[in-house]
Amino acid sequence: MPEAATLPTVEDAVALGLTRAEYDLICEKQGGPPNQVELAMYSLLWSEHCAYKHSKKLLRTLPTEGPSVVMGPGENAGAVDIGGGLVCAFKVESHNHPSAVEPFQGAATGVGGILRDIFAIGARPIAVLDSLRFGETTSQRSRYLLDRAVAGIGHYGNSIGVPTIGGEVYFEGPYEQNCLVNAMALGIARREDLVTSAAVGVGNVVLLFGASTGRDGIGGASVLASAELGEDDDKRPTVQVGDPFEEKKLMECSLELLQRALLVSLQDLGAAGLTSSASEMASKGKVGIDIDVAQVPLREADMEPFEIMVSESQERMLCVVEPTDVDAVLELCEKWEVSGAPIGTVTDTGQMRVFKEGALLGSMPVRALVDDCPLYDLQPGKPTGTTYPAPQALLPPQINPRRDGSGEETVAQSANELLLALLCSANVASRRPLFEQYDAIVQSRTIRRPEQADAAVLAVQPLDGGEHEAVPAIAVSIDCNGRRVAADPYTGTVAAVLECASNLACVGAEPLGTTNNLNFANPEKPHIAWQLTESVRGLGDACRALAAPIVGGNVSLYNEGATAGPIYPTPVIGMVGALPDARRAAPLGFVREGDTIALVGPFAPSLDASELAKLWGHELPDGLPAVDIAAVASAQAAVRAAVRSGAVASAHDVAEGGLAVALAECCLAGGVGARVALEDDALERLFGECSGGFVVSGEERALMDMSEQTTVRILGAVEGRSLRINGQIDLSLEELAEAHSALAELFA
């Protein structure tokens, strides 16, 4: 039994985020009240961030199996087969609350954490993408968070030598106090080299290597991400501090240890530190683990045992090693100038035990710690009126509609003015000022950089500059429009999945698997529970229809402030696909004058929850038009086949801002104009949004071949130095470019 001491009370448990009922259950599992070390460990592993206690039941409804899936949910990252004996590992995770408190380190350590998830399963990281949400650009706070978060992402990725190849950023009022920083990483490994995190082999040594352990990050991600963010809380001490150069050494050391078959299993240390990593390894292996905190290398000598167990110091890995290999592991750690120390043993007790120099400080059943946290049933309730009871005032109208004598709105602006207003709006303007802060080409794999194509494209093998018959590649996209999910959680989530798949189709890639980061507010509130439930239902339906199963992901709840209210529901979707030849990956920009332009797919646009509706100051509608997933999937297949065959010269899906914005983006990316004739001049046709529209260019006969699978409408031709649509829009490339560069002033 642990040494006798004054035991914490139920009030102490509540202060750590547990409920009274959960404390009672812990006492039952323990056979008595927990001591300080035990309570600290339970409080973290039973937190929302670690236990998923309000979402796990929903997540079990998602599709997780498919012919390409090699490693699914439950490991550090998922992996899909990309051919040639290789797999692509990928995952997305959030660092929202830490980034709201300290944006540079919050974003930087978010990148570091997701990279460790990739090399923890034996894959070499080859790319990072990010998905960001901030308040309106008129807010000084949002501009500060944007600047520092982007700097943190660039600092970590650029320093460690992993390219940041894409991403997205949106600016909306509901993210003012709770910004979102989601990071996605990809890696490549030989299939036979993958390793799991399950601790096995009674008597094997548990070894910690990497950076030393300090007080930074104690209770950080797990506590910050498990409760609403108080606007007056000073929580900077709980934000982890990252060192990308230390992580680079750690990554190379880990990969060489695995390549030399010196490790039985490997796990990174993230939220809840040693507590989470050791307990989860024991749970997966159905064993016990003993840890001696006196053996943990420390930066601060006076750390308490519970602090050592829950510290979230960065750049650390935990591994299981056979006793005969310990010296070889430590020798390799020394080669890479990485600290390494045996700190424990795998046992057959089924207990997670904490010692200090032989004295037992805590003993907990592994099953109780990891598997027996109570799971809660959500109590969803669809709100009346609008689906999103926005707590903040809407952004003042950026375009003021004129009203006629009857009070009906009429368009006060010309179509030219509307298009320019959309192009310079924060959610449509070029993201180049952000991407220019990231190295997108290090490692020599990048085929399509940000804003060159709808999806990022990476060669499976680094390019050597020589001629190749074909360049097998993977493509990746990350996306979500939170405003549309707020208007209709089911349809908005379906649209986010379809948007990712459409981006892949535009470069000729077929989806293999999906990851997700479900960013929502307080699930204990009925309308948030309803949003989460409907969103997961849409995610499952869309992934099943596209045969793109979920291989892993993350849930971030309680993104809500005491006075600022909830964020928009934001289920960020990341999708990976494969294409046989990267040289055929279509750019989004028009390529040749004289090419025919066509609109492909079941395009039925609506202004509901669109960017134009936001600029007009419209409230969110109560629902969106239904999406025909099968019809959109058929259009994606047609575009994908046309790109692979070389039948189209460019491909770009219609997204925010509608068809007119998509055409303008094609002109700007290609440096050439277009003449277009539409069926009608309705604003919905020009600026409405929906899933399933693609702007493609090429020879007319080749474009019309797609009509066997989907709708094809000839729009016009690539020509000149301006965009002309139906005589309503006539703008030069220079005018379009000036409007589209509006975000540059944020980084001036």
CA distance 160 to 251: 9
CA distance 183 to 92: 5
- C-alpha 399: how far from its chain's center? 32
Q: How many CA atoms lie within 13 A of 288 on its CB side?
A: 12
CA R_g for the chain = 26
Residues 6+ apart with CB under 8 A from 266: 120, 121, 122, 195, 197, 254, 257, 258, 317, 318, 319, 320
CA distances from 329 to 265, 346, 559 (A): 13, 17, 41
Give the Cα-Cα-Cα angle 90, 93, 97 (nearest 5 degrees): 165
In the block, residue with structure tokens 């910050």: 224
CA distance 483 to 485: 5
DSSP string, 473-538: EEEEEEE--HHHHHH-HHHHHHHHHHHHHHHHHHTTPEEEEEEEEEE-S-TTSHHHHHHHHHHHHH
Report residue 638: phi and psi, to 5°. Answer: -65, -45
First to last CA, the chain: 62
- Contact (Cβ atoms closer than 8 angstroms) between residue 45 and residue 397: no
- C-alpha 643: how far from its chain's center? 27
- Contact (Cβ atoms closer than 8 angstroms) between residue 479 and residue 573: yes
CA distance 583 to 459: 10
Q: What does the DSSP 8-state code read for residue 324?
A: G
Report residue 301: phi and psi, to 5°. Answer: -70, -20
Give the Cα-Cα-Cα angle 228, 19, 522 (nearest 5 degrees): 25
In the block, residue with structure tokens 């096995």: 200
CA distances from 47 to 14, 227, 508, 544 (A): 12, 9, 42, 30
Residues 6+ apart with CB under 8 A from 467: none
CA distance 14 to 20: 7
Pairing of strands 409-410, 402-403: antiparallel
Neighbours of 708 (CB within 10 A): 8
SS3 134: strand
- Contact (Cβ atoms closer than 8 angstroms) between residue 603 and residue 693: yes
Pairing of strands 510-519, 550-556: parallel
CA distance 147 to 242: 18
Give 384-419 as a 3 state SS string. CCCCCCCCCCCCCCCCCCEECCCCCEECCCCHHHHH
Identify the burial level of 401 via C-beta atoms within 10 angstroms of its C-beta, where 0-12 means exposed, 13-18 middle and 19 or more buried.
middle
Residues 6+ apart with CB under 8 A from 623: 387, 487, 488, 491
CA distance 575 to 586: 18
Give the Cα-Cα-Cα angle 580, 582, 583 (nearest 5 degrees): 115
Residues identified as active-site: 49, 95
